[in-house]
C-alpha cells in the first residue's frame, strides 16, 4: 500500500502494520521500483523475525498519520528510521539475501521431466552450490 506522505516527513520509507487478522506493508511511492521491492522484502523480514517493537521518536505523530486507527493498533505499528538496531540489521540482511538469491536465479526453465523434478526439489547440477 502507498505510504502516507506524512510518514516520509518523519523518516520512514516503509512500514509493516500488523492487525489481529491481517498484515499490511506500506511503501514509499516516490522511489524506484527496485527500491520499493527492497523495502517490501525488508518489512517481510520484520514479519518473519517477528519484530514487534514500536520504535518511534514521537508516538503522538502516529495518531496524526493514521488518525482512523485505534491506539492498540498503533502500538503494533512498526516504522523504523534507525538502521543501527539489531532488528533493522536483521531485516536488512534478510532483504538483501532474498534479493541476491532471486537475482542469481536463472530464468531458464528445464524442458525434460527429470530437469523439472530436479528444479522443483532444488537438486541437480544447476542447484548444487
Q: What is the chain's pLDDT, residue by residue, as a tens digit (129 residues)?
A: 998 877 776 677 888 888 889 889 999 988 899 999 999 999 999 999 988 765 444 445 555 656 666 555 555 444 455 667 888 899 999 998 888 887 766 557 777 888 888 877 777 655 444
pTM for the full model? Answer: 0.62
Query: Is the distance from CB of 15 to CB of 4 less than 8 angstroms?
Result: no
Query: Is the distance from CB of 14 to CB of 3 less than 8 angstroms?
Result: yes
In the chain the beta strands, taken as DSSP E runs, fall at: 14-18, 23-27, 77-79
**Coil, helix or strand at residue 16:** strand
As given in the structure block, the three cell numbers for residue 44 are 517481510
CA distances from 63 to 25, 51, 59 (A): 18, 21, 7
Amino acid at each position: 500500500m502507498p505510504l502516507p506522505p506524512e510518514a516520509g516527513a518523519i523518516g520512514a520509507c516503509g512500514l509493516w502494520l500488523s492487525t489481529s487478522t491481517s498484515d499490511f506493508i506500506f511503501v514509499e511511492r516516490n522511489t524506484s521500483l527496485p527500491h520499493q521491492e527492497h523495502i517490501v522484502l525488508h518489512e517481510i523480514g520484520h514479519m518473519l523475525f517477528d519484530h514487534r517493537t514500536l520504535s518511534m521518536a514521537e508516538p503522538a505523530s502516529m495518531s496524526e498519520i493514521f488518525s482512523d486507527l485505534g491506539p492498540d493498533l498503533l502500538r503494533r505499528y512498526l516504522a523504523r528510521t534507525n538502521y543501527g538496531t539489531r532488528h533493522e540489521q536483521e531485516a536488512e540482511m534478510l532483504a538483501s539475501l532474498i534479493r541476491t538469491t532471486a537475482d542469481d536465479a536463472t530464468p531458464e526453465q528445464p524442458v525434460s521431466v527429470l530437469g523439472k523434478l530436479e528444479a522443483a526439489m532444488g537438486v541437480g547440477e544447476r542447484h548444487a552450490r
